[in-house]
Structure 1
């Protein structure tokens, strides 16, 4: 079970790091999408920092279980907020990406708890 966590945690960590990179470099498509939802540009560094912390926590969580659980919980909450933001603005086209990351975060959390 630990190998499953390792693989899924690393994959999710890489996806979240790519998302953080897009926020930090102000990828135009991402900027247009998020500012259209009412997310101010000034919040982008904070959101990227949350994603980076989650990714680092998942990887360190391979060896330190409590941190892996905390990072997975944090990412679940982060992506619940992301999906909620899209729902609040009736942006149903934008929901699949954060919803997929939410499901992956929940899977990582379950795997980490089961392999502890």
Structure 2
């Protein structure tokens, strides 16, 4: 179970940090896509800060389990909101935007697995 937790935790943390950087910098397709849907720079940066904090929290949680549980669940909530946002905009039904929307689903599954791993590790 410990190897499972480490693999899921590291994958989730690295992914969360990686997707946060363009949002924090307001650069790239993540920023332009969210801006075109009405989100302000401040809102996008807040999402990026939340993703970054969640990723760092999951990594630290590998050493202090309570923080890992909180961070993984917080990332899961954020990702469920992202999925709802993509559903509302019809991204999963549109072949042109599906590829942009699917990572939220994959990361949500990873966040569930990491949360389970943290609970059983604690």
Gaps of 5+ in 2: 93-97
Alignment pair present for 1:33 and 2:37: no
Give the alignment's TM-score, normalised by structure 2. Answer: 0.87
Instruction: Check whether the contact 2:34–2:44 (CA below 8 A) recurs between aligned residues.
Output: no
Alignment pair present for 1:8 and 2:8: yes
Residue number in structure 2 paired with 1:98:
104
Residue number in structure 2 paired with 1:67:
67
The runs of 4+ residues in structure 1 deviating greater than 6 Å are: none
Alignment partner of 1:90: what SS? coil
How many Å separate the matches in 1 of 2:38 and 2:116?
Answer: 32
Instruction: Render the CA deviation track for 1:19-58: whole Å, top value 9, x for unaligned.
Output: 1111122223112221233322221221111111111111
Residue number in structure 1 paired with 2:50:
50
Instruction: Check whether the contact 2:54–2:72 (CA below 8 A) recurs between aligned residues.
Output: yes
Matches within 5 A, 1:101-112: 101-112=107-118
Aligned length: 116
Instruction: Render the CA deviation track for 1:46-89: whole Å, top value 9, x for unaligned.
Output: 11111111111111111211111000110000000000001111
How many Å separate the matches in 1 of 2:65 and 2:27?
Answer: 34
Give the alignment's TM-score, normalised by structure 1. Answer: 0.91
